[in-house]
Amino acid sequence: MTGFDAAASEPHPSATRSPVYRDPHETSLTLILTGTAIVGPMAALLAGGGAGPAADGPSAVLLTLTFAVLWLLFRRRAAVQGMRRPRGFGSAAIIGVVVILPAFVLEPLYPFVVFGFGMLVAGGNCDNRMLISWGTAVGGIGSFAGFLGITDGLRPSLLEGWERPAIYLFLGMLTLHAGIIVRRRENRAVTQTHR
């Protein structure tokens, strides 16, 4: 066997893949930041006495930015460790942009479309069942509230346009609270690993 044959049988350095980085706080950080991106605009709208879909656009934009920040954060952490990262959060940010751009021209934004699809894509690519489940459940409820309304059977005078922001605020607070609970569990798991 010549040196050329031996070199040809070895894999090219770029063909070998580095291990995948799994951040120990991926789930909690995602839930906390996405929950905050929903709660902020909705709380400001309801506290100011506003109603209607006025905070839908800012929430959808903040969710897209949140997915982009999470992608950059986890990608940097992986690079520091010399590892690679699944493309889940980058794909979620791209989905957010794809959903947001036509909605500014055609019809109002529904932030839970960005939330649900973003969580499904990020969770699916990162193999994170919690994000997939949360995106399906909360994203589905929020999208249903945005498109069809949950309280259609009530008298219109009871709603006064605050129904959707109030439901979105509740779902955002639920997501934020779930992120805090998951963070505690992740911290306990990290602590037990280092003992």
pLDDT, tens digit, for every residue of 93-138? 888 888 777 766 555 567 888 888 889 888 888 888 998 999 999 9
Cα separation of 111 and 37, whole Å?
A: 10
Distance of CA 108 to the CA centre of its chain: 20
Band of residue 166 on the pLDDT scale cut at 50, 70, 90: confident
Residues 22-71: pLDDT tens digits? Answer: 788 888 999 999 999 989 888 888 887 766 666 677 888 888 898 889 88
Residue 43 belongs to a domain: yes
Total structural domains within the chain: 1
Structural domain including 177 reads: 26-193
Provide the 10 A C-beta neighbour count for residue 77. 15
| CA 38 to each of CA 34, 154, 171, 173, 191: distance values in angstroms, whole numbers, following the listed order | 6, 25, 8, 8, 31
pTM, to two decimals: 0.77
Residue 91 belongs to a domain: yes
Q: In a 3-state reduction of DSSP, which class is residue 107?
A: coil
Helix axis angle for 111-126 and 88-105, nearest 10°, is 160
Q: Of 169 and 52, which is predicted with more confidence?
A: 169
Residue 2 belongs to a domain: no
